[in-house]
A = this chain, B = another copy of it.
């Protein structure tokens, strides 16, 4: 716990889904005891999808990742992330089973998350952004193309420009009042990097979330994606990503966009190329004309190694990772500059 700047009880809200939130939460928890993770609830793929289909429970996967990120118990963390490697349970993350079983036992996903937080000794709060049982829908109305379900959308190579598509939840979702309260009370709000159409979008389109973010007194920072998603956001620049985020929210919500300006060395660039991974291009001249502030940083981390037990995705999962410590440090700097230390 670094408390040099008196930010030990800084109320940070991190908004997102899986890996991006995990990365930011793990790094930001070094700065505060008061993190709230607001989590996307439209996931229906992999282990999560099977549990939803078979048990009728709410999606546990992203919530599990955020719980694990904020856990103070390494042993239980390993248990939650354990994936059965054989037999009936193959591919299921244990923490997903636990959340779904708890939801069945208590009759409430909220209570399940609370009890799981106790078991994991979570420092902070994990808040499902909605408690409605919803599925994601993406439609290009004028072309009558409809994609149904996050898993389907995640795996799709869009035939049409996604910026012309409407993203919605079916049935329409109510924001979890705890999520709105966390946004209102926050000192600092961070939108984590994540897939635009299957992770950030489904969260930001929920009624009330955009309004709350716009009305928040805390600065809202988008920690921009590092790579584009093949077949979905090829060629998208940093400002393209930010534009989509504000389009989902239905209004201007961003105060800062934190983006990577570091170029990979030739060896790393070669490996990226081999993997078909493309860095999001920074466009400072366009960012400079936006109402929010663009802030560049050196955020390239080591390449992640492939994990065969990660939930599979038809689109190749990027191996490029943020240097999470550098991103967290930059976020805290933004806060300090936005609000001078007392």
* Known A76-B115, A76-B119, A89-B89: A84·B101 in contact at CB below 8 Å: yes
CB-contacts of A42-91 with B (<8 A): 50-51, 53-55, 75-76, 78-79, 82, 84-89
CB <8 Å contact, B115 and A101: no
Inter-chain contact B54/A79, CB cutoff 8 Å: no
| Other-chain contact of A79, B53, B85, B94, B115 (Cβ < 8 Å) | B115
- Does A106 have its Cβ within 8 Å of any Cβ on chain B? yes
How far is B79's CA from A79's CA once the two chains are assembled, in angstroms?
16
Q: Which of B84, B92, B105 contacts A55 (CB 8 A)?
A: B84
CA distance A97 to B79 in the complex (A): 11
Asked if A104 is at the interface (CB within 8 A of a chain B CB), the reply is yes
Indicate if A147 sits at the interface (CB-CB under 8 A): no
Report chain B residues within 8 Å CB of A101. Answer: 79, 82, 84, 94
Mark each residue of chain A from 102 to 117: 1 if its CB lies under 8 Å from any CB of chain B, else 0: 1011100000000100
**Whole-angstrom distance between the alpha carbons of A87 and B55 in the complex?**
7
Partner of A89, one of B78, B97, B102, B115: B97
What separation, in Å, do the CA atoms of A30 and B252 have in the docked complex?
Answer: 61
**Chain B residue nearest to A93 in the complex (CB):** B101
**Residues 199 to 254 of chain A near chain B (Cβ within 8 Å):** none
Give the distance in Å from the alpha carbon of A88 to the alpha carbon of B101 in the complex. 13
A98 touches which of B78, B88, B98, B115 (Cβ 8 Å): B98
Whether the pair B55, A79 counts as a contact (CB closer than 8 A) is no
Q: Tell me whether B105 and A54 are in contact (CB under 8 A).
A: no
Q: Within the complex, what minimum Cβ distance (angstroms) separates A335 from chain B?
A: 36
Chain B, Cβ-Cβ closest to A116: B79
Give the distance in Å from the alpha carbon of A50 to the alpha carbon of B86 in the complex: 12
A88-B89, A94-B97, A115-B76 known; A82+B54 contact, CB < 8 A: no
Flag if B88 contacts A105 (CB, 8 Å). Answer: no
Closest to A90 in B: B54
A97 contact set on B, CB distance < 8 A: 89, 94, 97
Residues on the B chain within 8 Å of A105, using CB: 75, 78-79, 82
Known: A55-B84, A89-B88, A89-B89. A79 touches B102 (CB 8 A): yes
21 contacts between A and B (CB under 8 A): A50-B88, A54-B86, A54-B87, A54-B88, A55-B87, A75-B106, A76-B119, A78-B105, A79-B98, A79-B101, A79-B102, A79-B115, A82-B105, A84-B101, A84-B104, A88-B89, A88-B92, A89-B97, A94-B97, A94-B101, A98-B98
Residue ranges of A at the interface with B (Cβ–Cβ < 8 Å):
50-51, 53-55, 75-76, 78-79, 82, 84-89, 92, 94, 97-98, 101-102, 104-106, 115, 119
